[in-house]
Amino acid sequence: MKHLKSISLLIVAFIIATFSADSQNEDDEKITFQNYIGGSIQLKNMHLWRGIEVSDEVSAITDIHFKTKNDAFRAGLWGGVGVNGKFKEFDYYASFKHSGFEISLWDIYNFSTGATYNNKEAFNYKARETGHFIDLRLSHRLQGSFPLKIFWATLLYGRDRDALNKKNRYSSYIELEYPIISHEGYTLDAGIGGAFALVKGRDLNGVKTKAHFYGDEPNIVDIHLRFSKTFKLGDYKLPVVIMPMWNPEKDYMNMEISLELLSF
């Protein structure tokens, strides 16, 4: 818990410093609402995340965030809800990006109906009890003629315990993604992601195991294609993303369709 408080204080201090510097750089410019607030509303047929089927129902996904004028820093809220009310998620995040590099920290709280973990206490952050998990993300897009994106995420705290609930496994996910086609408004990206635990936990019999948040063994958990196109309906623009995904670890496949209804 002390570590979480320290991280929170650092994030708050960074937000204040970043916005103060940004304000000083534009004393002579007009400050508008759009300079510092952004967000979006999406409609999905389902919600997939790192090879996991988080929701199998039509879901509305919302994001609202504060940002610096150059959009290098963001701090915001992310939420999702299914049309049948089974899927429910509420997250906090902060991110910083520069020259193809991005770092972000997420507090993820999925309190969907029927969860097998604590989904009733939103403010409980005790390591052995919380339904939250803290997700640290790093990514870098290579520049030049080979724009490969390298992504790493590690669960630092919370709902990533071994079966005996004695230690955090620091489950990690690594992904490589490459833009295959970008032509006349169409884009096609291909990605592959694998997962493993940095710390071995134990099963209910006390035997050491390689299980992690995404599966039972270190393995490929996400192979996907991402097709994107923005359609114009008069003055209205509708970005559409179609993403077929295969998970060799879980032995299943799915296809997510996303419509961005609003963006600002």
Task: Provide the whole-model pTM.
Answer: 0.89
Distances (CA, A) of 258 to 43, 44, 47, 48, 49: 6, 4, 9, 11, 13
What is the per-residue pLDDT for 35?
A: 84
Q: State the Cα–Cα distance between residues 88 and 99, nearest whole angstrom.
A: 34
Q: Does domain 2-263 have CATH number 3.40.50.300?
A: no
- Listed in sequence order, the residues at least 6 apart from 145 whose beta carbon sits closer than 8 Å to its beta carbon are none
Backbone dihedral angles phi then psi of residue 155, each to the nearest 5 degrees:
-80, 115
**Dihedral (CA of 108, 113, 119, 123) sign:** positive
* 8 Å CB contact between 165 and 128: yes
Domain boundaries along the sequence of the chain: 2-263
What sign has the CA pseudo-torsion 109, 113, 117, 122? Answer: positive
Are residues 245 and 234 in contact, defined by beta-carbon separation less than 8 angstroms?
A: no
Say if residues 214 and 52 touch (Cβ distance below 8 Å).
yes
CA distances from 73 to 64, 66, 108, 130, 150 (A): 13, 8, 19, 28, 20
CA distance 77 to 176: 26
Collapse the DSSP code of 112 into the 3-class scheme (helix H, G, I; strand E, B; otherwise coil) and give the result. coil
Q: How far apart are CA 222 and CA 250, in angstroms?
A: 10
Tokens of 217: 């063994």
Residue count of the chain, please give it: 264
pLDDT tens for the 264 residues of the chain, in order: 555 566 566 665 655 555 555 555 555 456 566 789 999 999 999 999 999 999 999 999 999 999 998 999 999 999 999 999 999 999 999 999 999 999 999 999 999 998 899 999 999 999 999 999 999 999 999 999 999 999 999 999 999 999 999 999 999 999 999 999 999 889 999 999 999 999 999 999 999 999 999 999 999 999 999 999 999 999 999 999 999 999 999 999 999 999 999 999
Whole-number pLDDT of residue 13: 61
Q: Tell me, what's the pLDDT at 173? A: 99
Residues 114, 92 contacting (CB under 8 angstroms)? no
What pLDDT shows up at residue 88?
Answer: 98
pLDDT of residue 16: 59
Compute φ and ψ for 5, nearest 5 degrees: -65, -40
